[in-house]
Structure 1
């Protein structure tokens, strides 16, 4: 029970070595005094006991108080690092291997797990981060500040201003800036979920009791928030009327206007779904992602509208919190993970609600959230329960400096810097030379060479860099 209490109150808080040494000294001192009392012959035992008690009390008062440190849950960093690695892999090698790239419409590929994994780990970390802030006002200030930072970096990196790594230019027409990229959507979800966590923490028991419904009763406000989001999304998706709409494609010789005939409700196709309609009304057709993956569909034409996908994420509340004891904690995580996974699979294969990342369908949210919970639980058993941390240090280092690797590697800023130093033409940069001569030409395969370049010249390289920065105690956090 003592260990369980430590896990709950401080993520596995352990008394420091200095504290333990002082406690052992006190215990030894008490034992020595007891021995002196037993050997006393004809002396007043009560008086001797009082004297020794006074000495023990004085020794305890003189014992320096060492502030307990929180033991960081390594699984958090490993899971975050895995997500960053997957993002780099699918973004830079997905063009060579379409099976790992985003599914054009219905279905789920490796790339489709990246965004939900990001949201999952944000939810997991929220309760742990806010636990260190006892005052609500300070917590709200921290949440708002972090949200603004995420929005800023999202717009800068994914709004169209940066053209890294291949195009050596920058700038964006404000008529076409993309308001909702990955970081912007994470920021919005983080804002809602973090505020719910902040204002409900004091109304929740310190220890979640065992029982099949305890996770629901203890976190009822989180479930209410998720249910409200679910209801709004489902009503919007299946009842909102989608009218005809128009778009303009620009060519070198001019521009041409097209009209999409819709006039329907509940359609889940690329052009006439309600989610895309909401995005066009809220953000404007020119401010949405211009290269949606559904353009790879066999029936799609290159002149099809490029704004049918969703840039909004339904705010599914996915916060997690440590529950007393490893077994209780894992029982909740694993049962919830498999439950969501099964719901997503049933909805998809019965054609009730297909798994679809572009729409963030309910089946997609359940399936990917369940998968994230199962993967996280597996990591937790191996790393934090069994203590097998060394094989995953590579991912842990990347997770500790996730923002740095995201910006420099996933967004191509580091490669863009070196691409800017070229000889005669932009294709003669050091980055292009390494990719072509060290990987593609050696293996005589552009697909395999690209994959190996991503694995070794990007992922492995940034894993080593993150490890060095960790040893130096250098971290970039928002």
Structure 2
């Protein structure tokens, strides 16, 4: 009798979470692909004045962005930016968005840098990757995490937990890749549905692996570093944002400072400090 009540409670909770997630996801898709994005203009912020140069082509402090489209997920004409500009205002948006590192907007791509001579006008436009629509998709991620937590609380057997988590994680991951193949790009700044599914699914699979190693097989000491990282996530984020990690790793080199760990493991055509900084920020 108790098991039946518990099962009924779990089904009700799961149904409510599933319904809420479906409604939020549908709202996101309808807005992103249904709203019309007209032409718009913006004033270049004083924070971006340093990016302007005689060769950049930004002769005016006001730039016009030509859109007039629906369903675009490109940087200048997506609905995510439109809603944030209308409801929050340009001055409340992030002035150095991630697309400032693209080839169209930076001569030092994939790092920040001055815009090339033929840079489009939207390169200096404000954009908030944690805006209103992105927060809606983040709410679905919270619902996914809540589902994992309910399994942890209401399922006591280790094997059953692993099975439930694994099935759910594989489903999320496959759904994300199917959406990507169907035309929904994997975009972190826009927090697309495919990005949400894939990141949630991969995170769930990683949880299964760590849970099996630490809690089932009791190999806890080798995982003490991950335990410390989980207990100090904000500190790690701050260290990554302040370039302290990259600076510390550059102290380990072979024969000369140019052959440091960052150069060896991340051989990109940008500064070694930026390589690890961008990598760490993408994870934390």
Equivalent residue, structure 1, for 2:256: 442
Equivalent residue, structure 1, for 2:85: 280
How far is the alpha carbon of 1:377 from its aligned partner?
Answer: 0.7
1:295–1:406 Cα change, 3 Å: closer
If the length of structure 1 is used for normalisation, what is the TM-score? 0.42
How far is the alpha carbon of 1:411 from its aligned partner?
Answer: 4.0
Which SS does the other structure have where 1:444 is aligned? helix
**Is structure 2 residue 219 aligned with structure 1 residue 388?**
yes
Paired positions, count: 230
Equivalent residue, structure 1, for 2:165: 333
Aligned counterparts, 1:55-454, within 5 A: 207-208=6-7, 217-249=12-44, 250=46, 251=49, 256-300=61-105, 302=115, 303=121, 304-308=123-127, 310-312=129-131, 313-314=135-136, 315-316=139-140, 317-318=143-144, 319=146, 320=148, 321=150, 322=152, 323-351=155-183, 353-407=184-238, 409-412=239-242, 439=253, 442-445=256-259, 448=262
How far is the alpha carbon of 1:208 from its aligned partner?
Answer: 4.2
Of the two, which has the highest radius of gyration? Answer: 1
How far is the alpha carbon of 1:337 from its aligned partner?
Answer: 0.5
Rounded Cα–Cα distance in structure 2 between residues aligned with 1:281 and 1:447: 45
Rounded Cα–Cα distance in structure 1 between residues aligned with 2:15 and 2:23: 12
Which SS does the other structure have where 1:219 is aligned? helix
Q: Cα deviations across residues 275-302 of structure 1 (Å, max 9, x unaligned)?
A: 1111112222232222222233334463
1:241–1:233 Cα change, 3 Å: same
Equivalent residue, structure 1, for 2:269: none
How far is the alpha carbon of 1:326 from its aligned partner?
Answer: 1.5
Rounded Cα–Cα distance in structure 2 between residues aligned with 1:443 and 1:299: 32
Identify the structure with bigger relative contact order (alpha carbons < 8 Å, sequence gap 6+). 1
Report if the CA contact (8 A) 2:252-2:261 is conserved: no
Task: Identify unmatched segments of 5+ residues in structure 1.
Answer: 6-203, 416-430, 459-478
Which SS does the other structure have where 1:286 is aligned? helix
Rounded Cα–Cα distance in structure 1 between residues aligned with 2:179 and 2:254: 42
Rounded Cα–Cα distance in structure 2 between residues aligned with 1:437 and 1:385: 38
If the length of structure 2 is used for normalisation, what is the TM-score? 0.68
Report if the CA contact (8 A) 1:355-1:361 is conserved: yes
1:340–1:436 Cα change, 3 Å: closer
Rounded Cα–Cα distance in structure 2 between residues aligned with 1:388 and 1:228: 41
Q: Cα deviations across residues 131-184 of structure 1 (Å, max 9, x unaligned)?
A: xxxxxxxxxxxxxxxxxxxxxxxxxxxxxxxxxxxxxxxxxxxxxxxxxxxxxx
